[in-house]
Amino acid sequence: MSAPGTEADVIVVGAGLAGLVATAELAQAGKKVLLVEQEPAASLGGQAWWSFGGLFLVDTPEQRRMGVKDSLDLARQDWFGSAGFDREEDHWPRGWAEAYLDFAAGEKRAWLREKGVGFFPVVGWAERGGYTALEHGNSVPRFHIVWGTGPGILEPFIRAVRAGVQAGLVSALHRHRVDALIVEAGSVVGVRGTRLAASSAPRGVASSRDAVGDFDLRASAVIVTSGGIGGNHDLVRAQWPERMGEPPEHLLSGVPAHVDGRMLGIAEQGGARLINGDRMWHYPEGITNWDPVWAAHGIRILPGPSSLWLDATGARLPAPLFPGFDTLGTLEHILKTGYEHSWFVLTQKIIEKEFALSGSEQNPDLTGKDLRLLAQRVSPGAPGPVEAFKQKGVDFVVADTLFELMAGMQKLSPDIPLDFARIEQEIVARDRQLDNDFAKDAQINAIRQARHYRGDKLIRVATPHKLLDPQNGPLIAVKLHILTRKSLGGIETDLSARALGWNGRPVPGLFAAGEASGFGGGGMHGYRSLEGTFLGGCLFSGRTAGRAVAAAL
């Protein structure tokens, strides 16, 4: 039996970062909100809680203190060079990209600072590109890590939503799964769904889908903030673009199971147009979590540039596909080799300085705002979570000699013959490039170039050294898997976050934000992202949706 229709001004579907930001804006505007979420309260905040908290910001005091000169023009050049917009349906995504760039170079930092969000002083350099000035990548470091990582970025919005609950404006309905939009006379007037059994599943752990009833909720507007598709490997494979080769058979999940993509189909049935579903952002540097929270749980290595990257047979990846340069270019190359995994070969010196693991729980110093723990980043030894992977991770091989290392690699991948002679030749040749302060090897030059940036020299890029010199050892090899993460396409929206239908006109009553809307417009990143633009995309599109709905009511 359906519960009687409940009246509110707005229904927000999904209590991740985008939904929380939209709800906070609406509550601040005095609107009544029903925040409908399929997971238990323990998972409030969705993916953002697990995130590393890296934010793309342009021309900030943090950058200037590190000697980085950035500008809106440079950021726009990088964004559009990476996005490669080339489709008719890129009209709104382009508009969102422009608006988002203005936000990232404008009020974003001050708006967050006002809410108490602080930043780690060393700005990171993600997606370095490695091509020419108009092509993919960040020309300068822009990855600002929130002090407190994922939980730190969620904190002010959770606080605002809780204030809304106390003021009687917000009702948070957990274990409510939306199954359909209610459409009357062409307008979206509510949602219908299933009440799920109470669950004690801890944060991130898959909760049951046992039904205990159903519900009908009505409001003047519905905002869909249900996230992307990264937890649904069937959907990822079904939408896998031909340009990236065959869909991978083996995938690690970089997101919890609730990132199921189901609500996108429901929004489509309710009249919304989905665009750019074949644009996704998955990582080639995934490792199997030795301490998993969700099924097939993988962690992404955020690598510095020094590890040698080999394909499954031992052939070195071509320039500029070095660690941290071009996520999708590398993924495409790897899949075209006919194999799905690849290898990092590195030294103890490299792992100590260059391995960061993405995720709040993998960075207890930054997440816990623990200065004592943070100081260990500059002392000898790998950070605790990295060392734990080195010792317990199934993808790690540690050895004193190259032969032992290769034998260990072969054991981890018994069906694909590794070309030992070729690996040795590559490494010896690479090491010879270090006899002078100048070289022809593009990766060695890129490592040296990176160290001109103070932040990289300080905590991110190891002093260039020979891999085979025992004083830099032991040698380490890491088997890398493809790890799902973000959807770059989704519900097409205009600049007021109104969902558009197949006729290009707004679907009355329906709005979308966050990953469900491709972070705005149905894909503001185009084909490729500059990193740190996903949390930021949730902030901007969630805020836009909340404000637009509040103004329209």
* Chain residues in the site for ligand FAD (CB under 6 A): 13-19, 36-39, 46-48, 50-54, 177-178, 225-227, 254-255, 258-259, 262-263, 358-359, 486, 514-516, 532-536, 538
- List alpha helices for 355-473, DSSP H: 364-367, 371-375, 384-392, 402-412, 420-432, 442-450, 454-459
Nearer to ligand FAD, 264 or 312 (CB): 264
Nearest to 121 by CA among 47, 50, 68, 73: 68
Nearest distance, CB of residue 150 and ligand FAD, angstroms: 7
CB-based contacts of 91, cutoff 8 Å, min separation 6 = none
Chain-centroid distance, C-alpha 354 = 19
Nearer to ligand FAD, 325 or 397 (CB): 325
Nearest distance, CB of residue 191 and ligand FAD, angstroms: 8
For 268, the enclosing helix (H) or strand (E) is helix 262-269
Nearest distance, CB of residue 89 and ligand FAD, angstroms: 20
By CB atoms closer than 10 A (0-12, 13-18, 19+), residue 226 is buried
- List alpha helices for 285-370, DSSP H: 327-336, 348-354, 364-367
Nearest distance, CB of residue 55 and ligand FAD, angstroms: 6
Q: Three-state SS for 438?
A: coil
Residue nearest to ligand FAD (CB): 16
The partner residues of 181 in beta bridges, in order of sequence, read 191
Nearer to ligand FAD, 443 or 533 (CB): 533
Nearest distance, CB of residue 63 and ligand FAD, angstroms: 17
Token duo for residue 310: 């080999």
Nearer to ligand FAD, 36 or 497 (CB): 36
Nearer to ligand FAD, 52 or 85 (CB): 52
Token duo for residue 161: 């939503």
Number of other residues whose CB lies within 10 A of the CB of residue 250: 10
Nearer to ligand FAD, 148 or 473 (CB): 148
Query: What are the C-alpha distances in Å from 489 to residues 236, 261, 264, 267, 539?
Result: 12, 11, 11, 14, 17
Number of other residues whose CB lies within 10 A of the CB of residue 430: 19
Nearest to 286 by CA among 300, 306, 272, 265: 300
**Bond preceding residue 474 cis, omega within 30 of 0:** yes
DSSP code for 174: T
Nearer to ligand FAD, 331 or 402 (CB): 331
Nearest distance, CB of residue 206 and ligand FAD, angstroms: 11
Number of other residues whose CB lies within 10 A of the CB of residue 378: 9
Nearer to ligand FAD, 262 or 333 (CB): 262
Nearest distance, CB of residue 468 and ligand FAD, angstroms: 34
Nearest distance, CB of residue 255 and ligand FAD, angstroms: 5
Nearer to ligand FAD, 18 or 308 (CB): 18
Query: What are the C-alpha distances in Å from 408 to residues 389, 400, 412?
Result: 16, 11, 7
Nearest distance, CB of residue 175 and ligand FAD, angstroms: 9
* Contact call for residues 229 and 235 (beta carbons, < 8 A): yes
Nearest distance, CB of residue 38 and ligand FAD, angstroms: 4
